[in-house]
């Protein structure tokens, strides 16, 4: 099944939020007056957050026009520019070769058949010493996501099938020339009191579930929520590499 992100851009913007500590960490990698690009930015929550923390040239790239429209119309949306395109050709960013301090993506790399192509493109845009960062789901995160796995266990094999292993991404990035790989998990744990995000299928994998599985899981979740909040978490694994000086 192909997900039409132009069609779900409104729901996506309503339910998706930036990881605050991830925004702070990424912003710390951008020098004042530097240049940062978010690839597959969607509604650009993280890019706009970075631009609010550090004075920089910020460019967001996404293949979906409606996502970019929502990004540009959001508060602080005018602190960045937005370009329609794909990770396989970063020349459309308008950033000269060697001109970027940070190229990053959040929940995007699993859509790429060959992350190595993307890594080579990022290498071309980055200055020596620049950072290439990928926030994605590790196997551990996928298997321990709540309340998703408790009510929609069919999402586990779907997510494992479409996500690249962290080790495979490291290998592809090393092959492109990047060094100093490191990983760090960002996110939070808490409780969920409302099923709206699951009713609206705010997580893209929900659109891949068979309709009967989605409805069954939603009914069980709503029944439990009627008795009180349920455990919840929201995590991402950041893989960071660097272009050598």
Amino acid 8: pLDDT = 56
Give the per-residue pLDDT at 12: 57
The range of the structural domain enclosing residue 34 comes to: 9-138+163-188+234-242
Total-model pTM: 0.91
- Is residue 88 in some structural domain? yes
Contacts of 33 (CB under 8 A, 6+ apart): 55, 56
Q: Which CATH number goes with the domain that contains 133?
A: 3.40.50.150
Give the model confidence (pLDDT) of 132-167 as tens digits: 999 999 999 999 999 999 999 999 999 999 999 999
Q: Where do we find the tokens 């992350």?
A: 115
Q: With contact defined as beta carbons under 8 Å apart, do 3 and 204 qualify?
A: yes
Domain count, the chain: 1
E strand map for 113-198: 126-136, 179-192
- 148 three-class SS: helix
61 burial (CB, 10 Å; 0-12 / 13-18 / 19+) is buried
Cα separation, 19 vs 234, whole angstroms: 9
From CA 46, how far away is CA 38, in angstroms rounded?
A: 8
10 has pLDDT over 60 = no
Bridge partners of 149?
A: none
Cα–Cα distance, 195 to 47 (Å, whole number): 27
Q: Report the percentage of the chain scoring pLDDT > 70.
A: 92
- Establish if 120 belongs to a structural domain: yes
Say if residue 79's pLDDT is above 90.
no
The whole-number pLDDT of residue 74 equals 75
Residue 153 lies in a domain: no
Tell me whether residue 37 is in a domain: yes
What is the overall mean pLDDT for the chain? 93
Q: What pLDDT does 196 receive? A: 92
- Per-residue pLDDT at 13: 54
Sheet containing 230-242, strands listed edge to edge, beginning at the edge strand earlier in sequence: 81-84, 56-62, 34-39, 100-106, 126-136, 230-242, 179-192
Above 60 in pLDDT, residue 6? no
In a domain, 46, yes or no: yes
Judge whether 143 lies within some domain: no
Residue 209 domain-assigned? no
């Amino acid at each position: 099944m192909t997900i039409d992100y132009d069609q779900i851009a409104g729901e996506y913007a309503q339910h998706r939020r930036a990881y605050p500590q991830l925004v702070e960490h990424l912003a710390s990698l951008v020098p004042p007056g530097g240049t940062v690009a978010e690839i597959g930015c969607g509604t650009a929550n993280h890019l706009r957050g970075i631009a609010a923390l550090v004075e920089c040239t910020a460019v967001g790239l996404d293949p979906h026009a409606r996502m970019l429209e929502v990004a540009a119309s959001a508060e602080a949306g005018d602190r960045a520019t937005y370009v329609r395109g794909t990770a396989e050709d970063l020349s459309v960013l308008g950033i000269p070769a060697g001109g970027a301090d940070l190229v990053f993506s959040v929940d995007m790399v699993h859509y790429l058949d060959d992350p190595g192509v993307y890594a080579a493109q990022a290498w071309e845009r980055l200055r020596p010493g620049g950072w290439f960062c990928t926030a994605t789901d590790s196997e551990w995160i996928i298997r321990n996501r709540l309340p998703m796995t408790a009510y929609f266990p069919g999402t586990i094999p779907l997510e494992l099938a479409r996500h690249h292993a962290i080790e495979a991404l490291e290998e592809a990035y090393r092959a492109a020339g990047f060094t100093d790989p490191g990983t760090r998990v960002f996110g939070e744990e808490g409780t969920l009191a409302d099923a709206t995000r699951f009713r609206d299928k705010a997580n893209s994998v929900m659109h891949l579930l068979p309709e009967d599985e989605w409805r069954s899981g939603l009914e069980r979740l709503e029944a439990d929520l009627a008795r009180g909040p349920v455990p919840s978490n929201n995590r991402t694994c950041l893989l960071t590499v660097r272009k050598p000086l």
